[in-house]
Every structure is written in C-alpha cells, then in structure tokens.
Structure 1
C-alpha cells in the first residue's frame, strides 16, 4: 500500500492533546468522511474538510 500524505487546512488536536496548526504535514490512512491522520506517531481523527490530500510528503511521519 502506497503511503498517502496531506496538509491540515485547520488546527486539529491529536490524541496526545497537542494542537497542530493549519499547514502541518500529516500521513493519512483510510477513506471517506473520516480518516486517521498521524504526525510523529500522534493520532489525529480527521474529517474530510480538515485536510488536503497529496501535499506535505517531505515532512510527515507516521
């Protein structure tokens, strides 16, 4: 499976309690109205409108 990447469009809080600002690169998993996003191992539950797919591949880590 090819890794997928994206960029946050709005600030999103991760499971750790850290809020990641818009523009943060994320690795993404899943499809549909909600996907799993990851930033340095922190899980971000993402809605379809909170990220843009296909950007940020140089800095996101799963």
Structure 2
C-alpha cells in the first residue's frame, strides 16, 4: 500500500454523480464523508461504529 487515501462512491451511484456522497475510511476509528459535487468543500467526520449503524439502517429501509 502506498499510503494514499482514496475516496469512493456507492455502487448504487449513477455515472453522472448527481446527489451522491463520497466516503473515505481514513483510519480504524473514523470515516469521512463529502458531497461528490463539492470535493473541495467541507467534510463530515463520523466515528466508524456510527457510520456502520447508519449504513445498516439505510439497507433495512429498502433504499
């Protein structure tokens, strides 16, 4: 691994990138989230357990 962190989008995102968020696992304890349309804009840092619970809740909502 070269130490470069890579942002990624959900596999459910469309190719145009509209209304998407990008996610970066920046360490074992946190996840960073940003708007895919504003990649130089603000980021939200979330504890990994909170992010995991959020994603699990979305999956259970029929999203």
TM-score by length of 2: 0.35
The structure with the largest strand share of the pair is 1
Whose RCO is larger (CA < 8 A, sep 6+)?
1
Could you say which structure has the larger radius of gyration?
Answer: 2
